[in-house]
Structure 1
Amino acid sequence: MSKRDTTIPEIKESPLFWPARLKGDALLVLDETLIPRKLHYIKVKNTKQAVEVIRQMKTRAFGQFLVVMQTFLLEISNNKTASRDVLLTRIRAVADQLNSSRPTFPFEEVTALVVGWANQAVGQNLDIRTFVPRCIHGYLDGIRARRLERVRKIAEVLKDGDSVLTHCNVSGELAMAAYIAQQQNKHIHFFATETRPYFQGAKLTAWELRRMKADVTLIADNAVGSVMADGLVNKVIVGSDRSCANGDFANKIGTYQIAVLANEFQIPFYVLTQPSDKIKTGKDIPVEIRNPQELLTYLKKKVVSGVVSGFYPGFDVVPHELVTEAIALDTRA
């Protein structure tokens, strides 16, 4: 067995780790629906376009969080001549539009921060145009640093010889942890579910793991029980889109059955979470029901014959009893 490297390696960043950035008068958002064919950034210039990017799943999970936060920066920049009261009203309106873009995501928790900073600026007679952006940038800098720290924690969870199953995509963190593990001479294998109907596992997770030179095998979503029964997996690591006070969480549809199978086969189940006490239990999470056409068509062509209905909940809820460990990210300001 090779000797472990105990030094702290540099982290190689995945494009999915920070997929939305301001440049000039536009927010550049990585179009994840085009990966792996090409890396293309969509120019977002206002709240309406930001909401469309979110609803159309052009970016997901953490990318949508970045879009939400930076849309406020766009709107402040777009309203250079507005009075303080008009700008405050605009910030509140932007928050309302973003909050309604996807019901399962906890956008209200972060938009409330921005509205709070705007109210603080008005209450303390501060310049809202400089105070709010400074708060947003400082907050995002803190989130970035804590995410990088979590990448290192994930790398610690990865042990030499592990065979890890993952579902959907965790916005760069698992792939970056895999890179660290390689630098430490750990030999890790990954099983990525294809994650229908958007194929995030096939298009994103397998792609970014290979970019990091990690060993990865793509499996059908309905092969999870088989690979676990055959002893091919000894660890599960997934992300989450919403967390509850009791530890329940919501993630991409299909995560619940993976957790049940991991429990059946006594396989450790790890989840990356953003803890919140806004929702008590998983039963209180509003699960988004997506357009059935996303299930009934592929590349705009029908995959069924005749009149067939479709049912596509975008998420399912995993009870905390099935979680071995939550690797948390503190998103508080």
Structure 2
Amino acid sequence: MERQDKDLGFLLRFENVAWYENGSVRILDRRVYPRKIEFVECVRHEEVAQAIADMVTQSAGPYTAASMGMALACHEVRGRPQAEQLSHLKKAAYTLSHARPTTVNRMTLITGGCLDVARTALEEGRAADQAVLDHTIDSMNRRYAKISQVAEYLVSLWPQNGTVMTQCYGETIVGTMLREARNKGKNVKLFCPETRPFLQGARLTASVANDQGVDVTVITDNMPATVMATKGIDVFTSAADSICRDGHIVNKVGTLQIAIVAHHFGVPYFVTGIPDKELLTINDVRIEERDPTEALSFNGVKNTADGVKGFYPAFDVTPAGLVSAVITDKGPFAPQDLNRYFSLSDTAYW
């Protein structure tokens, strides 16, 4: 199978997300990219979990990092009795899947799949770390292929010469939607809110767009309303960290306010991704609140007086009424109709 990261930006190449080799996991440090191209090297699976918690990687990056972390966990106990290895891997699966609270459901599916692969490899006398690595590469290819299908449906809803606003960094969909637009001959312009405090829109989304030759403009997080009012935005789109079956969308904090503005100006908001089967309602989601000091500084420089407090919920919740459609690999769905997706979907994603 041809690698599905072909013609995508630097950030989306498999080896530049996270990679296991020779008893360590290398994770591209997205906290400093593109100012610097640096990799964090982890020699224990706990270090991979900490890197995920510290946002060395984010968006869908933790899904790959967690899988590579499971390969590393296999390496840590190679040669030990099978029961001891499996006990260690079960603990590693929990540690990696719980590195950040809001996506535990997805991460548990990922690490659980790796655990099953490792168990089978051990029973057959094969190297478990190589088996998990091969499984992870296959999973990445499959996930990229599915998101490429999402991109086809999404781009079909764009005008021929459209202006699109994004939010945060939606990982694979960013590269695949721009690749699909190019393949369809659609001339798209992108406006990317910066996404404070880590600037994922400015540093990551804009970099991928630039790598792929797309006209991209970065705006600050307080500009979306003005830009929608004056720059002819045709579409607002984002990925989602959780898509609940009741139509609620959980995504990077700031998504809700852009959705409200889009609704006001009559701009459609298309969410991309695969609905979460386990999340029946928004009540099943725990919103991560990160260290409030992260909101008080930028690039390590403190911006506030001593005694000033911060608040940093990593995600917010957008209700179904503000979402025009959820674009999946099976086509667009009304957010109130997501249960139907599971009667049509037949291929594992996570």
TM exceeding 0.5: yes
**CA–CA distance in 2 between the matches of 1:83 and 1:119?**
12
**CA–CA distance in 1 between the matches of 2:136 and 2:33?**
29
The verdict on how the C-alpha distance between 1:100 and 1:137 changes in structure 2, with shifts beyond 3 A counting, is same
- Please name the residue that 2:90 is paired with: 92
- Please name the residue that 1:301 is paired with: 301
Which of 56, 59, 77 is 1:58 aligned to?
Answer: 56
The verdict on how the C-alpha distance between 1:26 and 1:259 changes in structure 2, with shifts beyond 3 A counting, is same
Q: TM-score, normalised by structure 2?
A: 0.84
Tell me which amino acid in the other structure corresponds to 2:159: K
The verdict on how the C-alpha distance between 1:23 and 1:37 changes in structure 2, with shifts beyond 3 A counting, is same
The verdict on how the C-alpha distance between 1:118 and 1:35 changes in structure 2, with shifts beyond 3 A counting, is closer
**1:240 matched to 2:235:** no
- Please name the residue that 1:217 is paired with: 217
Shift in Å, 1:11: 5.0
5 Å matches for 1:128-167?
A: 129-130=127-128, 133=132, 135-167=135-167
Shift in Å, 1:137: 4.6
The verdict on how the C-alpha distance between 1:118 and 1:186 changes in structure 2, with shifts beyond 3 A counting, is closer
- Local SS of the residue matching 2:66: helix
The verdict on how the C-alpha distance between 1:82 and 1:141 changes in structure 2, with shifts beyond 3 A counting, is farther
**CA–CA distance in 2 between the matches of 1:175 and 1:132?**
28
The verdict on how the C-alpha distance between 1:48 and 1:174 changes in structure 2, with shifts beyond 3 A counting, is same
- Please name the residue that 1:332 is paired with: 349
5 Å matches for 1:1-333?
A: 12-17=7-12, 18=14, 19-106=17-104, 107-117=107-117, 125-127=123-125, 129-130=127-128, 133=132, 135-230=135-230, 232-328=232-328, 331-332=348-349
Shift in Å, 1:277: 2.0
**CA–CA distance in 2 between the matches of 1:172 and 1:118?**
26
Shift in Å, 1:120: 6.3
Shift in Å, 1:331: 4.8
**CA–CA distance in 2 between the matches of 1:182 and 1:111?**
35
The verdict on how the C-alpha distance between 1:310 and 1:190 changes in structure 2, with shifts beyond 3 A counting, is same
User: Would the aligned equivalents of 1:268 and 1:324 in 2 still touch at CA under 8 Å?
Assistant: yes
Instruction: Report Cα offsets for 1:195-220 as digits up to 9, x if no partner.
Output: 11111111111222112121112112
- Local SS of the residue matching 1:271: strand
**CA–CA distance in 1 between the matches of 2:176 and 2:119?**
38
Percent identity over the alignment? 25
User: Would the aligned equivalents of 2:154 and 2:177 in 1 still touch at CA under 8 Å?
Assistant: yes
User: Would the aligned equivalents of 2:148 and 2:177 in 1 still touch at CA under 8 Å?
Assistant: no
- Local SS of the residue matching 1:74: helix
Shift in Å, 1:167: 0.8
User: Would the aligned equivalents of 1:168 and 1:200 in 2 still touch at CA under 8 Å?
Assistant: yes
Instruction: Report Cα offsets for 1:233-269 as digits up to 9, x if no partner.
Output: 1101111112212232211000011112212222111
Shift in Å, 1:138: 3.9
Tell me which amino acid in the other structure corresponds to 1:332: Y
The verdict on how the C-alpha distance between 1:211 and 1:156 changes in structure 2, with shifts beyond 3 A counting, is same
Q: Which runs of 5+ in 1 are unaligned?
A: 1-9
- Local SS of the residue matching 1:251: strand
Shift in Å, 1:154: 3.7
**CA–CA distance in 1 between the matches of 2:71 and 2:118?**
12
**CA–CA distance in 2 between the matches of 1:256 and 1:128?**
48
User: Would the aligned equivalents of 2:66 and 2:111 in 1 still touch at CA under 8 Å?
Assistant: yes
When the two structures are aligned, how many residues end up with a matched partner?
322
Q: Which runs of 5+ in 2 are unaligned?
A: 330-346
Instruction: Report Cα offsets for 1:255-309 as digits up to 9, x if no partner.
Output: 0111122122221111122321212222331001011111111222210123111
**CA–CA distance in 2 between the matches of 1:119 and 1:22?**
19
Of 100-109 and 128-137, deviating more is 128-137
